[in-house]
């Protein structure tokens, strides 16, 4: 195996404009390139290799940053880009507590950082662990404005509806924008969700069923294909594909004989239809999910 190239943090970040008032900051999914080290670490293996995107809702001199990305270097680029565009007032909202969504919080320490109360509680409980992780998130800046269930904000003239969801992580927050555009965080992912809470698959399916009833037109997930995000995002059918995948995992949890270890085979109809895009590194994610639900041994 040839060693991977190590790209300086932020040097491969791509800035996309998928929708009016939305700026996307995409990094990763670059074969043979890592951003931290050759050794296993959360930044490269859990985010950069699979592709990671943060977003900003911008109108005039105001911006709402949806997740602060995987490093302080990335967050500095986000902030500088917005400031150069004329933004003078920034707020942050966190989609959930995981490392690759909060690592840049320190760059926005002087801003309002919004999260649901559960996200704040989990971050506080994991603070020491996250500050000593590889790479460390130090200091981990905690949210300073909390909400429960829903919160409506206005960014310039753009209304943003924050909704707490129990999908992927029990502390998820998604952002619904005008016209049915959804900033989905990790509640939806292309091609498959990463299972972090295998005991909560029934709750995640309930959350997905609720989301499927919303009048959505386009979906921008934090993990997905750069070209699809750049072109405006995914259609609502991404929800149904995610429901199918989580349901398959739930069945495999109760009956391991039903487990299909090959992702390309399991989700073949969705790949054929173009609802999902096959990306080989997600085969390892899928096998890890099957291990997490107890359908396979590690």
At 194, give phi and psi (nearest 5°). -95, 125
For position 265, what pLDDT does the model report?
A: 98
DSSP string, 72-85: HHHHHHHHHHHHHT
What confidence tier does 296 reach under pLDDT thresholds 50, 70, 90?
A: confident
Give the pLDDT score at 2.
Answer: 59
Average pLDDT over residues 107-114: 98
Q: Is residue 197 reached through a cis peptide bond, with omega within 30 degrees of 0 on the bond before it?
A: no
CATH fold label, 5-198+216-234: Metallo-beta-lactamase; Chain A (3.60.15)
**Angstrom distance (rounded) from CA 126 to CA 9:** 24
Cβ neighbourhood burial of 262 (10 Å; 0-12, 13-18, 19+): exposed
Q: Of 276, 291, 197, which Cα lies nearest the Cα of 242?
A: 276
Q: Looking at residue 241, what is its pLDDT?
A: 98
pLDDT at 155 over 60: yes
Q: Which pTM value belongs to this model? A: 0.97
Helix (H) or strand (E) holding 292: helix 282-292
Q: Are 117 and 172 in contact (CB under 8 A)?
A: no
For residue 46, which of 57, 35, 61, 59 has the smallest C-alpha distance? 35
Asked if residue 66 has pLDDT above 70, the reply is yes
Q: H/E element holding 116?
A: strand 112-116
Q: Which two tokens stand for residue 280?
A: 């080989």
Mean pLDDT of 179-205: 97
| Cβ atoms within 10 Å of 293's Cβ, excluding its own | 22
Please check the confidence at residue 207 and state whether its pLDDT lies above 90.
yes
**How confident is the model over 271-290, as pLDDT tens digits?**
999 999 999 999 999 999 99
Q: Where are the domains of the chain?
A: 5-198+216-234
Element (H, E) at 53: strand 52-59
Averaged over 159-184, what is the pLDDT? 98
Judged against a pLDDT cut of 60, whether residue 1 lies above it is answered with no
The dihedral region occupied by 262, where left means phi > 0, alpha psi between -120 and 50, and beta the remainder, is beta
Q: What average pLDDT does range 139-163 have in this prediction? A: 98
Strands of the 158-167 sheet, one edge to the other: 150-155, 158-167, 169-177, 181-185, 218-221
Split at pLDDT 50, 70, 90, the class of 298 is low
**CA–CA distance, 185 with 220 (Å, rounded to integer):** 8
- From the list 161, 157, 126, 158, the residue with the least C-alpha distance to 42 is 126
């Amino acid at each position: 195996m040839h060693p991977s190239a190590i790209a300086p943090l932020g040097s491969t970040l791509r800035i996309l404009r998928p929708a009016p008032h939305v700026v996307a900051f995409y990094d990763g999914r670059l074969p043979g390139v890592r951003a931290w080290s050759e050794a296993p670490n959360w930044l490269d293996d859990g985010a950069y290799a699979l592709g990671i995107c943060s977003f900003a809702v911008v109108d005039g001199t105001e911006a709402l940053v949806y997740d602060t990305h995987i490093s302080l270097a990335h967050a500095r680029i986000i902030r500088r880009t917005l400031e150069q565009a004329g933004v003078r007032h920034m707020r942050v909202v966190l989609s959930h507590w995981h490392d690759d969504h909060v690592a840049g919080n320190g760059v926005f320490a002087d801003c309002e950082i919004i999260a649901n109360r559960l996200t704040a509680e989990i971050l506080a409980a994991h603070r020491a662990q996250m500050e000593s992780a590889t790479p460390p998130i130090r200091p981990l800046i905690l949210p300073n404005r909390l909400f429960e269930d829903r919160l409506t904000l206005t960014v310039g003239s753009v209304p943003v509806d924050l909704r707490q969801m129990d999908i992927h992580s029990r502390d998820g927050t998604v952002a619904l924008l005008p016209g049915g555009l959804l900033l989905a965080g990790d509640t939806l992912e292309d091609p498959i969700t990463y299972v972090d809470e295998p005991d909560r698959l029934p709750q995640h399916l309930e959350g997905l069923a609720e989301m499927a009833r919303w009048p959505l037109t386009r979906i921008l997930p934090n993990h997905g294909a750069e070209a699809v995000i750049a072109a405006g995002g995914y259609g609502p059918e991404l929800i149904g594909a995610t429901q199918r995948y989580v349901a398959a995992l739930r069945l495999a949890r109760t009956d391991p004989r039903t487990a299909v270890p090959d992702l390309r085979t399991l989700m073949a109809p969705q790949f054929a239809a173009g609802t999902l895009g096959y990306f080989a590194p997600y085969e390892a994610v899928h096998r890890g999910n099957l291990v997490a639900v107890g359908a396979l041994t590690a």
